Amino acid sequence: MKICVIGSGYVGLVAGTCFAESGNTVICVDVNQEKIEGLKEGILPIYEPGLKELVLRNSSEGRLFFSTDLASAVKESLICFIAVGTPPGEDGSADLQHVIAVAREIGRNMDGFKIIVDKSTVPVGTAEKVRRATQEELDRRGVSHEFDVVSNPEFLKEGAAIDDFMKPDRVVIGADNVRTAEIMKELYSPFMRKTNRLIVMDVKSAEMTKYAANAMLATRISFMNQIANLCERMGADVAAVREGIGSDSRIGYDFLFPGVGYGGSCFPKDVKALIKTADECNYDFVLLNAVEEVNERQKKVLVDKMVAHFSPGGGAGSLAGKTIAVWGLSFKPRTDDMREAPSIVIIESLLELGATVRAHDPEAVKEAKKIFGDRITYTSTNQYEILNGADALAIITEWNEYRNPDFERIGASLSAPVIFDGRNLYNPRRMRDIGFTYHSIGRNGSS
């Protein structure tokens, strides 16, 4: 099939590349000329494991193209995916300006039947807005072409995006037209060879499914963070509690790790957008408001522990003169994405309290520099160097290289052996035995 994917970010680039990998001819379009020029040269704008190899192979085999020319891409394609960003607007609602701008561009340029697919995460009712915007442009041109608007939300996870796309748990297709649903099924059939988990539904339900999924996952995280905080106060161990509840098949183990709060480009904005959607229907989504509030508070938990350790009185300047070495900046491992990363709130708080911060991250330093500039120091290579003479190590992102480190070296490098672990990577009892003061989230060290 001939496809164009408009918006070549985390989602568009992965989707376009994977569609090319399954034999389709794909044009990835973006307004960002630098990004497109780079991609033509094989330079990827993002870090995503396995993506570069696929981009290079499919480009050289003549199935994957990059362009800023949306008009030609639309003319050459049967299916036009919209995969542009939908950042939160000032009031928390999803900002649809890029989606609608693309819909208009498609209307201005289409020359025959097209399937327009909303791949971006967009609120219920957006497909209708896309339809209207496209139709208005056709009317303006005085031409008549048939088109369908499909909702096909994306569930990939950054860091495992290729696998998620090639072997999805499910693909959701919201289509109000049987013929179009069949074409979409055909497009996704190569990814359904193991299990056929293609779920076809009406457009609005598909749009809601994406928000409901992210809101549910965010709810599990906030729930478990509160259970962890309560465990700490009661002397229970959240790791044992997770085992205990996860073994219930109705609950399961996933997404029950307490930590420093959820971040990233999706959960925070999608939770906010769903709250806003509910507001617009005069429906008070009490639960999601609480999920968000818990998450904001959780980002401060590690800093509170540092203040309690170094300066129990707290207050302004309570970490003055302290140097904190931070491992992990990206919002999760295996990505360079810093959008809404908890590290931002944590590091800003540390700086505000007077601390000096040195950070290590294997991939996110370039992105982090855009946020912190020269207010902190960085390294992406030796994770131990930043420990020399620091007063404590704080772990914010659970990159693999932090899971089994050289504790002897950590202890010898720090001015005192103190770790604040926001991801519960180590065994508290073992840490105590090897002489560390070890703070983690919700554990009493019994497990």
- Contacts with ligand NAD: how many residues (CB under 6 A)? 26
**Hey, which residues between 97 and 126 contact ligand NAD (CB under 6 A)?**
98, 101-102, 120-121
Strands 418-421 and 25-29: unpaired
Nearer to ligand NAD, 70 or 419 (CB): 70
**Which of 4, 51, 83, 387 touches ligand NAD (CB under 6 A)?**
83
DSSP 8-state code for residue 405:
-
Asked whether the beta carbons of 118 and 99 are under 8 A apart, the reply is yes
**Which of 18, 27, 29, 106 touches ligand NAD (CB under 6 A)?**
29
**Which of 156, 171, 346, 441 touches ligand NAD (CB under 6 A)?**
156
Q: Which of 18, 28, 80, 266 is catalytic?
A: 266
CB of 97 vs ligand NAD, minimal distance in Å: 8
- Piece of the chain touching ligand NAD by CB under 6 A; list 24-32, 255-263, 383-391, 413-421: 24-32
What sign for the dihedral angle of Cα 334, 338, 341, 343? positive
Nearer to ligand NAD, 123 or 442 (CB): 123
Give the separation between CA 298 and CA 275, rounded to whole angstroms: 19
DSSP 8-state code for residue 22:
T
**Which of 3, 4, 5, 12 touches ligand NAD (CB under 6 A)?**
12
Give me the phi and psi of 27, to 5 degrees please. Answer: -110, 120
Instruction: State how far Cα 355 lies from the chain centre.
Output: 28
Of 257, 299, 293, 260, the closest CA to residue 275 belongs to: 293
SS3 182: helix
Show the tokens assigned to 231: 């465990």
SS3 358: strand
Nearer to ligand NAD, 154 or 391 (CB): 154
Nearer to ligand NAD, 149 or 303 (CB): 149
Does 80 participate in catalysis according to the annotation? Answer: no
- Piece of the chain touching ligand NAD by CB under 6 A; list 77-85, 131-139, 168-176, 316-324: 77-85
Give the separation between CA 153 and CA 400, rounded to whole angstroms: 29
State yes or no: residue 332 binds ligand NAD (CB under 6 A): no
State yes or no: residue 413 binds ligand NAD (CB under 6 A): no
State yes or no: residue 30 binds ligand NAD (CB under 6 A): yes
34 contacts: CB under 8 Å, gap ≥ 6: none
Residue type, 345: V
State yes or no: residue 39 binds ligand NAD (CB under 6 A): no
220 contacts: CB under 8 Å, gap ≥ 6: 254, 255, 256
CB of 112 vs ligand NAD, minimal distance in Å: 21
**Hey, which residues between 265 and 284 contact ligand NAD (CB under 6 A)?**
265-266
Q: Which residues are catalytic?
A: 266
Residue ranges in contact with ligand NAD by CB under 6 A: 6-12, 29-32, 35, 83-86, 98, 101-102, 120-121, 154, 156, 158, 265-266
